[in-house]
Structure 1
Amino acid sequence: MIKIENNMKCFVRLWRLLEHTRLYLDAHYKRFCVRHVLILWFQGDATDDFIWEVCNKTVVNEETVCGWDLLPLPSLFPRQHRELLRAIVAVRLDIGMRKVDLKALDAAYSIVFPHSTPINVSKK
């Protein structure tokens, strides 16, 4: 089980772990979805209630099936994964979605995927 914190070091670890999990699931012919990611990361703590709460806070699709939707590549479509990581941190730390440090989360993405387009959501 991984320790979740609301800081840059943890976000870098989460982005790397997300890509590693994608490769692991692909190698084992399993679907890269929210449910499998949470089960691999949190094992026994990934109850249906926990998965539902993360899915409820993550807006991946309008017609989501609570964790079974296929996720795209994190390096190509980072916003969906940004919201997923944001929801995981919020649920595990029992804080609001707005209290997650988005600047650190976006900077961590740029560190893990240096040749990808940076996430710049807070740009006006």
Structure 2
Amino acid sequence: MMNVENNQDCFVQLWRRLERTRRLLGGQYKRFCIRNVLKAWFGGEATDDMIWEVCHKALVDNEPQEGWNELPLPSLYPRKHRELLRAIVAVRLGISYYKVNLKALDSAYSIAFPNSTPINVNKKKRL
């Protein structure tokens, strides 16, 4: 069972574990999707209700994600994974999706994948 918290240290572990899980599932010839990630991380706690809740909170372009759809590489396409991790933290802690610390989540990505472009979807533009 994983311990999930709403802080940067936990987010770094989650980003790294996501990449390890992708490799593990690939080695087992299993699909790298939300359902299999949750089952690998939480075992029997990953019920259909939990998976449904995570999928419907993990919004990308205001669309919920599908549990069986293949996920892209976390290091190359971080947006879906960012929303997935955000939804997992919200569901596991029983907090609002909007109370997840996005600055810590984005900076944790830069720590876990140091050679990738930093992400900050909510960055404000200056005129």
Question: By the TM > 0.5 criterion, same fold?
Answer: yes
Mapping 1:17-56, distance limit 5 Å: 17-56=17-56
- What's the counterpart of residue 103 of structure 1? 103
1:88 pairs with 2:88? yes
Contact kept, 8 Å, 2:55 with 2:64, in 1: the verdict is no
CA RMSD, 1 decimal: 1.3
Contact kept, 8 Å, 2:109 with 2:118, in 1: the verdict is yes
Q: Indicate the percent of aligned positions where both proteins have the same amino acid.
A: 67
Q: CA deviation at 1:117?
A: 0.6
What are the Cα deviations for residues 76-103 of structure 1, in whole angstroms up to 9, with x where unaligned?
0001000000000000000001100000
- What's the counterpart of residue 7 of structure 1? 7
1:75 pairs with 2:68? no
| Structure 1 residues 63 and 87: CA distance shift in structure 2, 3 A | closer
* Total equivalences in the alignment: 123
What are the Cα deviations for residues 41-84 of structure 1, in whole angstroms up to 9, with x where unaligned?
000100000000000101248485x4000000000000100000
Query: Quick one: distance in 2 between partners of 1:76 and 1:105?
Result: 16
Query: Quick one: distance in 1 between partners of 2:9 and 2:71?
Result: 24
Q: CA deviation at 1:122?
A: 2.0
Contact kept, 8 Å, 2:56 with 2:64, in 1: the verdict is no
Query: Quick one: distance in 2 between partners of 1:60 and 1:84?
Result: 9
Q: CA deviation at 1:120?
A: 1.5
What is the TM-score with the length of structure 2 in the denominator? 0.93
Contact kept, 8 Å, 2:58 with 2:64, in 1: the verdict is no
